[in-house]
Structure 1
Amino acid sequence: MQTINIHEAKTHLSRIVERAARGESFVIAKAGKPMVKVVPLDAPAPSPPKRLGFLAGQVQVPDDFDTMGSAEIEQLFGITP
């Protein structure tokens, strides 16, 4: 997504609006600090953020997780213990 300085946005507003209407999104910044986001009206709504830890307490990892299936894996690669 392109970032445009606020002075440039004021100077070329009609061009920016046309580009946004064609589907482009922009961030307008003041002194390098992002201030607003310009998106077309028909742009799809952003999907909700992914939640980390939503299965907390519902999944248990076995104590031998790191070694599960090691014998079979070693056999597949021709490694003998």
Structure 2
Amino acid sequence: MVEVGVHEAKTTLSKLLRQVAAGEEVIISRGGRPVARLVAIDHPGQRILGEDAGRYVVGEDFDRDLPDEVLDLFDA
């Protein structure tokens, strides 16, 4: 774990991001007190086309006209 001050974090952000990408954790402090932690985000991985197929079925009447009482609510 690396700890840097705010000024150093601003001036060396690219370097710090490379360290974080390599698995390092960076603590950013202000006045000697930790205020933030810079860590890598977890990537969910490659998205697979069609992975969720069949999880939701669209009803046959999904595009039918709305009833008049519902349409009237939009004019209120």
TM-score if structure 2 supplies the norm length? 0.53
Count of residue correspondences = 43
1:16 to partner: Cα distance: 0.3
1:41 to partner: Cα distance: 1.0
1:21 to partner: Cα distance: 0.7
CA distance in 2, matches of 1:4, 1:33: 10
Percent identity between matched residues is 37
Spell out the pairing of 1:65-76 with structure 2 (5 A cutoff): none
1:2 to partner: Cα distance: 1.6
Q: Which structure 1 segments of 5+ residues have no match?
A: 44-81
Deviations along 1:6-42, one digit per CA (max 9) or x if unpaired, are: 1000000000011101110010001101000011113
Tell me the SS of whatever aligns to 1:36: strand
2:8 is equivalent to residue 4 of structure 1: no
CA distance in 2, matches of 1:30, 1:2: 14
CA distance in 1, matches of 2:36, 2:9: 11
Q: Quote the residue 1:34 is aligned against.
A: 34
User: After TM superposition, which residue ranges in structure 1, 4 or more long, deviate above 6 angstroms?
Assistant: none
CA distance in 1, matches of 2:41, 2:2: 18
Tell me the SS of whatever aligns to 2:34: strand
Q: Quote the residue 1:68 is aligned against.
A: none
Q: Quote the residue 2:24 is aligned against.
A: 24
- The one-letter code of the counterpart of 1:2 is V
- The one-letter code of the counterpart of 1:22 is A
Q: RMSD value over aligned CA atoms? A: 1.5
TM-score if structure 1 supplies the norm length? 0.49
